[in-house]
Structure 1
Amino acid sequence: MNNGHDTTATSDAVDYAVIGAGIAGVSTAWRLAQAGHRVALLDRDEPANSAGSSHGSARILRYGYPDPLYARLLAEAEAGWSELEAAHGAPLITRTGCIDAGEAHDTRRLAGVFAETGVEHTLHSPEEAAARFGGRFAFGTEALWHRRAGVLDAEATVNAMVRAAVVHSANLLTGWEAASVTRRGAGYLVTAADGRKLSAGRVVVAAGGWLPGLLGGLGLPTSFTGALPAFEVRQESAFHFPYREAPDPADPWPTSIHMIEGMTVYTLPGGRDAGHRGQKVAEFNGGPVIPDASAQDGRISEARRARIVDYVGTYLPGLVPEPYAETTCLFTNTPDEDFVIDTCEGITVVSACSGHGAKFAPMLGTLAAGLATGERDVPAQFRPSR
């Protein structure tokens, strides 16, 4: 078993090769290995590295989806989160609650989905919202509150799933950049950019922002690839703003989703990589579109920074409108923001994209592994080839 850099050719065949050690890939590798399959987990760098979409210690976990399917899947994922936290030996989620608000946000429709799917919630009038949250938020509209929301530690989650997969004898190969997948006999040959090769019975591709560049090298029929949605990769910017007053641990700052005309902003308590001393603030799909992850440059424009500083000064009175830290990350979007978990001829493509995959981490592996093995199907809307 190898859980470090591998510089030699790998000839031993495995049942499944999983390409990509972000949240979707490691979750799938964990579930496959847990079921007794021989698994190789391949990553061009290290799991949860900063060039991907699964790094950092703060991602939103919330139930606020207008599509009841996602709310139900999150409820199913709760058991997986408990299982993973037990294996990790520490919490991976901090429950803070979440506020959904804004004149462009249909909070009443969302409240109806909560009622349908059994999510505890309260819809506050503008006056009630101002009384309860006014020192921190100045949204001026109705606000939908649900207490089970919170913040998950993405990096710790990835590492916990890697350890769980390795415990079940998965082989982690880092520094292994997959370049192509070709049919060989009844299985496949995965070839790395440096020429190394790995034989596998089946392949799962969870390459995140590198997926657009890799799709053409998978040897998949055009009838399948042509049915896939266009994948749009964006380099997003996130900023950390200090609290004016340190929050009481018994009353943490909640996360928020605020939709106004032409702008959707999400906020959440910053994690350990920002010193836990402020709120992380970002505009959803506000960054530039790039061809794929290889084109990211980590730069943040002055205009983007100024736009978020102005937003904080207008809507977040509990924060000092001067960022003390900033970062970039990748979103890989589909036009309808649905996941893609689809399969063809022994290759399963997993794109838990559009910036909302992390909260489903244990469930993603269950769905993708089940589809890859043929033991279960996934919701039809995740299978565009259908």
Structure 2
Amino acid sequence: MPRVLIVGAGIAGLSTAWALARRGYAVEVFEQGPVPNPRASSYDEHRITRHVYGSTGYAELMPHAFALWDRLFADIGARHFDPLPLLVLQRERDAWFASSQASLDSLNVPYRAVQVETLAESYPMLSTEGVSAAFVCEGAGVLFPIRILIDLSVHLASLGVVFHANTKVTAVDLDAGTVSVDGGVRSGDVVVVAAGAWAERLVPALRALATPSRQAVLFLAPPPALADAWRDAPVILDIGAASGTYALPPRPGTRLKIGDHLFTRIGDPDDDRVAIEEDLGQLFDAARLAFRDFDAYRILERKICYYTVTDDERFVVRPLGRAGYIQSACSGHGFKLGPLIGEGVARAIAGETAAGDLAEWAAARPARAA
């Protein structure tokens, strides 16, 4: 039975393990912390998923991603997904806004324009000054990562996947198919590096392609007057140049979360996960423009997470060496597309698709997206 060694137990590593275990592979997963690891970028209360994606090519991948989530939820016996509408706000004219509507048309995902004049009444938490257009669409919602990671790891263990928690991999040999840990060298037929912001330390070639980025998010309690509005709110994307934010409303077991769209491209993933004032200046400025009376919100947590980012915001997923694969997500794409990308890597390892096509497919080049 072929043996695959996976470095990283975030959504990328666990999804790949899931896809390989279903194909009969012997799989071992190495994680430098506990499983799941609270320091991993995958570890979060809730994350957006959506069909809206502009013209990048990822919109065409999203129906397949939703289908893989359905299969994963069936396997783990729990549906950790809350379907919600997505409200998209345009302030300055932006090509992404129009191209997103065009991609929704091509995918037959329903959406409707929202009159700017009615926004304040329908969504009283918004600051509507400067909003030039808006639409609400279906085909979106929030995933619950912590719950998913826990249930998926339990399910994988039941399939025979071997976990090495609190086991730091110090080196990989992508030609020999080995990983080095404190206890020595472990050998497999294939090694998959899915170590998030730490991946470049094991695969130096990744440094020219993707950069670890320190990102701040806020968990908040809205003022009492807006609590009901937020409980009934959609997911919100504001794509304004200065007000650019995303907001996930509080759902059962989660808090209101707000972040921005800018990548810092700085920081060390070994740092702590508490955001300081220097991390939050841009986010506070944007949130004050996006949301009415933002200074009345109570901060519950100032959190740091680390992503890898690329100049074009596309995945870096490809074979390396004679027995290796690198699997590096880009920003928030990583979670919503995790099972689909894991399936793609497993298909390449199993010889079901050409390994040489993996990089272009995972990067969602429009010609290859289907």
Q: TM-score range by the shorter chain?
A: 0.7 to 0.9
Percent identity between the two aligned chains: 24
Cα distance change of structure 1 residues 299 and 243 upon mapping to structure 2, 3 Å threshold: closer
Distance 1:383 1:55 in 2: 23
Match of 1:367 in 2: 344
| Pair 1:198 & 2:186 matched | yes
Report the residue type matching 1:85 in the other structure: F
Match of 1:20 in 2: 8
| Pair 1:305 & 2:280 matched | yes
2:298 to 315, 322, 327: 322
Report the residue type matching 2:14 in the other structure: V
Match of 2:218 in 1: 239
Report the residue type matching 1:359 in the other structure: K
Cα distance change of structure 1 residues 289 and 349 upon mapping to structure 2, 3 Å threshold: same
Report the residue type matching 1:142 in the other structure: A
The equivalences for 1:256-295 within 5 A come to 256-262=236-242, 264-270=244-250, 276=254, 278-287=255-264, 289-290=266-267, 292-294=268-270
Match of 1:157 in 2: 148
Q: Deviations over 1:270-307 (max 9, x none)?
A: 466xx64x5211122354612x423x233423244354
Report how far residue 363 of structure 1 moved.
Answer: 1.0
1:124 to 114, 118, 132: 114
Q: Secondary structure at the match of 2:3?
A: strand
Report the residue type matching 2:272 in the other structure: D
Distance 1:308 1:239 in 2: 9
Q: Deviations over 1:348-382 (max 9, x none)?
A: 11112222211112212111111222212436253
Match of 1:341 in 2: 317
Distance 2:84 2:292 in 1: 19
1:167 to 152, 158, 162: 158
| Pair 1:110 & 2:95 matched | no
Report how far residue 50 of structure 1 moved.
Answer: 2.1
Q: Deviations over 1:80-129 (max 9, x none)?
A: 22222223333211122111213244322210111012221112232244
Structure 2, unaligned runs of 5 or more:
365-370
Cα distance change of structure 1 residues 247 and 368 upon mapping to structure 2, 3 Å threshold: farther
Match of 2:89 in 1: 101
Structure 1, unaligned runs of 5 or more:
1-12, 217-224
Please identify, of 123-132 and 228-237, the stretch whose mean Cα deviation from structure 2 is larger: 123-132
Match of 2:127 in 1: 138
Distance 1:239 1:270 in 2: 12
Alignment check: 8 A CA contact 2:85 2:234 kept: yes
Q: Secondary structure at the match of 1:21?
A: coil
Match of 2:308 in 1: 332
Cα distance change of structure 1 residues 247 and 85 upon mapping to structure 2, 3 Å threshold: farther
Please identify, of 68-77 and 373-382, the stretch whose mean Cα deviation from structure 2 is larger: 373-382
Report the residue type matching 2:306 in the other structure: L
Report the residue type matching 1:334 in the other structure: T
Cα distance change of structure 1 residues 383 and 150 upon mapping to structure 2, 3 Å threshold: closer
Q: Secondary structure at the match of 1:108?
A: helix
The equivalences for 1:24-63 within 5 A come to 24-63=12-51
Give me the TM-score of the superposition, normalised by structure 1. Answer: 0.83
Q: Deviations over 1:44-68 (max 9, x none)?
A: 1123312211112111112211136
| Pair 1:230 & 2:219 matched | no
Q: Deviations over 1:172-209 (max 9, x none)?
A: 1111211222368xx522111x2422110111110100
Distance 2:361 2:77 in 1: 35
Cα distance change of structure 1 residues 102 and 229 upon mapping to structure 2, 3 Å threshold: farther
The equivalences for 1:172-191 within 5 A come to 172-182=163-173, 187-191=176-180
Alignment check: 8 A CA contact 1:342 1:383 kept: no
Give me the TM-score of the superposition, normalised by structure 2. Answer: 0.86
Distance 2:178 2:278 in 1: 46
Report the residue type matching 2:76 in the other structure: H
Cα distance change of structure 1 residues 361 and 188 upon mapping to structure 2, 3 Å threshold: closer
Report how far residue 322 of structure 1 moved.
Answer: 3.4
Q: Secondary structure at the match of 1:260?
A: coil
Report the residue type matching 2:317 in the other structure: I
Cα distance change of structure 1 residues 262 and 371 upon mapping to structure 2, 3 Å threshold: farther
Cα distance change of structure 1 residues 157 and 312 upon mapping to structure 2, 3 Å threshold: same
Match of 1:4 in 2: none
Distance 2:199 2:21 in 1: 23
Distance 1:23 1:183 in 2: 21
Match of 1:209 in 2: 197
